Amino acid sequence: MKKYAQTREESGEVLRVVIQRMAGQPAAFTPYNFTLWYEYVAGCNPRLTSAINAMLEGGKKLDDEAVDKLYGQFVEGEYHALREAMNKLVAQVAGVTAETGKQAHAFGNNLQSYGDSLKEGLDPSGMAHLISTMAGDTARLRDSMRQMESQLQASKQEVDQLHMELESARGEALSDPLTGVLNRRGFEAKVQPAFDDGTLSEKGGCLLMLDIDHFKKINDTYGHLFGDKVIRAIAQMLKSKVKGRDAVARLGGEEFAVFLPETARKGAIVVAEQIRQGVEMGKIRRLDTQEQIGGFTISIGVAEYAKGSTLVEMLDQADKALYSSKQNGRNRTTVFG
């Protein structure tokens, strides 16, 4: 399983946040320390994230001793433990299956022997003994099968637990490391069911695409760390606007998407304008000078679901509407069609 799924651009964003995090702790800037914070920021090691959060919330600092302990427990041991658990489980199931197979084979041989005895003819006493022996063999095989069923059920539960842990470990592949919202893959995974189960056909829906205006100028003027802060602030605003089956994703760079099922065009325009105006009125504090910087704007494109439309088609329509907003002066909402 690929643990680090970030692109070069995404890993660069993670790196900038990691440096900030490491600088606030007393531990040396070692490869072990960097790995801890990289996996923490990227969100690809849930157990490590929980452990660090617990330490920070408890007022503890990550010194060299804490880093060594966390690394050994949650980085070196994480996938080794899962692999060992899976190997043990496979061995258990193989052992149970082999033992039951041996008993079934022996039972088959016994049946052959009983058949031969019957062909030779048996007196009543011999017949009674044969029936008693067959009943005993059958009972033992039945008990063995029940034991195998019980152990296989327990094994299934272990498999389910391991599956949950592996799914948790791959969760980073569905989320954007800088903002914590969905990435494109996660967005598609969450949104596609609404196209498949008939939700959009019955209740409609809209998709917004938005882009931060003049983002390169923001980075050039205030630096990439501040640019990252702008992206995170907008992501948090978008998250505050969604509910239920709504979804927010960062598609890349300074571009976001918002999926609004059960929302008609009029309602989607209202949401889009609330977002646009909220961004324009917002201010973000610089880390170096503590100056409050405002005046940022976004452009938005809206696509409304039409019967038979696919997610790819709606993304394309919203993107075209977004392009129109950019071409017509930015800081505006445009509806496709």
Residues 17-26: contacts with CB within 8 Å, 24+ apart? 17/41, 17/177, 17/178, 17/228, 20/225, 25/61, 25/62, 25/63, 26/61, 26/62, 26/63, 26/64
DSSP state of 27: S
Catalytic residue among 39, 78, 254, 304: 254
Parallel, antiparallel, or unpaired: how do β-strands 247-252 and 283-285 relate?
unpaired
What is the length of the chain?
337
In which residue are the tokens 């044969």 written? 130
Residue 172 φ/ψ, nearest 5 degrees: -65, -20
In which residue are the tokens 């696509």 written? 303
> 252: which residues sit within 8 A by CB, 6+ positions away?
9, 184
Q: Which residues of 176-209 are buried (b: 16+ CB within 10 A; e: fewer)?
A: bbbbebbbbebbbebbeebbeeebbeeebbbbbb
DSSP state of 20: H
Tell me the longest C-alpha to C-alpha distance in the chain. Answer: 106
| CA dist., res. 65 & res. 28, Å (int) | 10
Closest C-alpha to 231, from 172, 284, 302: 284
Residue 254 known to be catalytic: yes
Q: Which residues of 304-319 are buried (b: 16+ CB within 10 A; e: fewer)?
A: bbeeebebeebbebbb
Active centre residues (catalytic): 254
